[in-house]
Structure 1
Amino acid sequence: MARHDITLRLLRYFDVLGSELNYRRAAERLFISQPALSAAIRQLEGHAGGRLFDRDTHSVSLTPLGREWLPLVRAALHGVDDAIDALATLVDDEHVRIGYLIGTGADLLFQLLEHADRAFPGLTIETVEHDFSDPSAGLAGGTSDIALLRPPIDVDAVEMVTVAEESWVACLPRTHRLAERTELTIDELLDEPIVVAPASAGPWRDYWMAADARRGRPANVVAEAATYEAETTLVARGVGISFTTSSLARLYDRPGIRFVPIVDRPVSLTALAWRRGRLSTSARLLLQHMLSTLTSDDGPSTPGPRAPSR
């Protein structure tokens, strides 16, 4: 059989089976039957001119040919996916999706979008709030073109421009022994029971547990919260403390909690972010408009903007 008859479908089947090394699990991931997957792999092996997998009643393993070829196939599939994703940047889209992390939109997003409707009358701008389970505000899953977020995030090929800087504060129950202090250091708080973001937040969760200051000392995690409402409610109940930013002391103040500045933490940044090479023409122009507000007299105070790349 001619090797140029190999299809993307067969290569994707090979990739998934090469990851799972189990026909049942691979077939479930691919939403096909096990016999159909077996037939497809045999077809691919016929094109390849040799076996790609060794299979017996107990296990599936890659042959030497399969081990050598799999990284090349994955690189090729990644290139195809990138080409498909890039199509959005070549065909202009009159719809731009902006994700924002909960707690950032109330103050900043609508300043950054001021006069955007007038500047782009034919453009539909969709804004979606994301909670702590996705601190990338939709960038990681591709549901946002532009995001307003608080770093760090674990997403490849991201560009950012800082739009605000804030100090850290401790959110404490009003009955807490440190609640009447005017300022605190981080070391005074590391042994306290703490309310944290869900595990899906990844490095962002570690950052807001002050993992860098713990020097290997584990955090005493007592609860998880995906929103500031849930977080401050848990704190007010006395379940634990949390770390947050100075603006939240104003936006989420309520009976039962007290915010105390933490004086020895680096500033927390708020940033506009986008995936490098993934912006449509409309999204790029809108981002440039948003960045231009950063240097206006009445816009947010921040370092000078950098023009977004394609």
Structure 2
Amino acid sequence: MRQLRYAVVLGEELNYRRAADRLFITQPALSTAIKQLERQLDVVLFARNTREVSLTEVGAAWLPTAREALQHVDAAVDQLVALAHPGAGRIRLGYLIGTGADLLFRMVRHFEIAHPEITVEATEFDFSDPTAGLADGTVELALIRPPVDLPRHRVHVVDSEHWVACLPRDHRLAGRNEVEIGELLDEPIVAAPDTAGSWREHWLAMDARGGRAPTIAATAATYEAETTYVARGLGISFTTEACARLYERPGVVYVPITGRPSSDTALVWDPGLLTREGDLFVRHVQQNWGSDGLEEH
């Protein structure tokens, strides 16, 4: 089980450092576990070289099945805990990297004080899955930044922010107090992975381009990678005020963008799949955060 879980996380991250960080283990320990699994099953799941990790054809075909199997195991554990301790429970909450990060932990602490019998397990997802685990059922609730393609899901907005441009420090517009979106559309841009779908297009400002294709300078699944590419001068990126606060880096500056709608941070869930504990969390957030809530952001 441990080896399967390690393989799934590495398959999602395709980066030993990020996978090891998610698993709270060292990179050598992760590498050893993956090699043991491949040797035991006489299969190669990952292709490796000095620069990157990728899934083999077998690994890519197997990954969804392995992920689903682990979800069933986790569900069985949840059921066992619920049967053994009827008053206890837990919630799987996903959150998109950088999305409401300063808000998320206040929200979780506030809830767990009100409901000490329930544990909230928060899991971070990168830009490759902007639904933060909702699309494949890894989590039952997620704090994300719409729009995403989840037609059955409900949305409760908890915060709104302005767009900002992440620019190289020596960029011609870096000294401006603000910049209009039209001034940035011809710039090479760092984009989210293709798997982000319509969310990727939203953060490329495709609606403002009049059908013109953007010049993609690089692809990044995390803010660390994104800001590194920008600092190197490969391109610019679009993000939000919160990320400008949380991801200050040498070599980049953030400039507010005019001519864009605000970006919402929202709690999202499928009402048909919500557990009792999840429903309590939703109600708690609705009462304390958002347009009808009490909490100030």
TM-score (norm 1): 0.65
Runs of 4+, deviation exceeding 3 Å: none
For residue 252 of structure 1, what is the aligned residue in structure 2? Answer: 247
Provide the C-alpha distance between the structure 2 equivalents of 1:296 and 1:220, rounded to a whole number of angstroms: 41
For residue 136 of structure 1, what is the aligned residue in structure 2? Answer: 131
One-letter amino acid of the counterpart of residue 279, structure 1: L
- TM-superposed deviation, 1:296: 5.6
- TM-superposed deviation, 1:124: 2.4
Structure 2: stretches of 5+ with no match in the other structure: 1-60, 63-78
Is 2:185 the counterpart of 1:190?
yes
Provide the C-alpha distance between the structure 2 equivalents of 1:292 and 1:279, rounded to a whole number of angstroms: 18
Q: In structure 1, the residue corresponding to 2:151 is in which secondary structure?
A: coil
- TM-superposed deviation, 1:95: 2.1
For residue 195 of structure 2, what is the aligned residue in structure 1? Answer: 200
> In the TM superposition, what are the counterparts of 1:40-189 in structure 2 within 5 Å?
94-189=89-184
Q: In structure 2, the residue corresponding to 1:289 is in which secondary structure?
A: helix
Q: Which has the greater radius of gyration?
A: 1
Q: Deviations over 1:270-289 (max 9, x none)?
A: 10000131101111012211
Provide the C-alpha distance between the structure 1 equivalents of 2:108 and 2:296, rounded to a whole number of angstroms: 12
One-letter amino acid of the counterpart of residue 228, structure 1: Y
For residue 283 of structure 2, what is the aligned residue in structure 1? Answer: 288
- TM-superposed deviation, 1:254: 1.6
Q: Deviations over 1:181-228 (max 9, x none)?
A: 111111111110000100000011000000000010000001000011
Give aligned pairs, total: 215
Provide the C-alpha distance between the structure 1 equivalents of 2:152 and 2:271, rounded to a whole number of angstroms: 5
Provide the C-alpha distance between the structure 1 equivalents of 2:257 and 2:241, rounded to a whole number of angstroms: 10
TM-score (norm 2): 0.68
CA contact (8 A) 1:150 1:268 kept: yes
CA contact (8 A) 1:108 1:300 kept: no
Provide the C-alpha distance between the structure 2 equivalents of 1:236 and 1:125, rounded to a whole number of angstroms: 36
CA contact (8 A) 2:90 2:119 kept: yes
Provide the C-alpha distance between the structure 2 equivalents of 1:296 and 1:265, rounded to a whole number of angstroms: 26
Provide the C-alpha distance between the structure 2 equivalents of 1:185 and 1:105, rounded to a whole number of angstroms: 25
Structure 1: stretches of 5+ with no match in the other structure: 1-27, 30-87, 302-310
Q: Deviations over 1:42-95 (max 9, x none)?
A: xxxxxxxxxxxxxxxxxxxxxxxxxxxxxxxxxxxxxxxxxxxxxx9xx99822
Partner residue of 2:238 out of 243, 251, 254: 243
CA contact (8 A) 1:111 1:300 kept: no
- TM-superposed deviation, 1:261: 0.8
Provide the C-alpha distance between the structure 2 equivalents of 1:124 and 1:109, rounded to a whole number of angstroms: 14
Provide the C-alpha distance between the structure 2 equivalents of 1:151 and 1:205, rounded to a whole number of angstroms: 11
Provide the C-alpha distance between the structure 1 equivalents of 2:99 and 2:189, rounded to a whole number of angstroms: 22
Which stretch shows the higher mean deviation, 96-105 or 221-230? 96-105
For residue 46 of structure 1, what is the aligned residue in structure 2? Answer: none
Provide the C-alpha distance between the structure 2 equivalents of 1:105 and 1:217, rounded to a whole number of angstroms: 31
One-letter amino acid of the counterpart of residue 270, structure 1: T
Q: In structure 2, the residue corresponding to 1:140 is in which secondary structure?
A: coil
Q: Deviations over 1:227-286 (max 9, x none)?
A: 111100110010100000011111111210111111111101110000131101111012
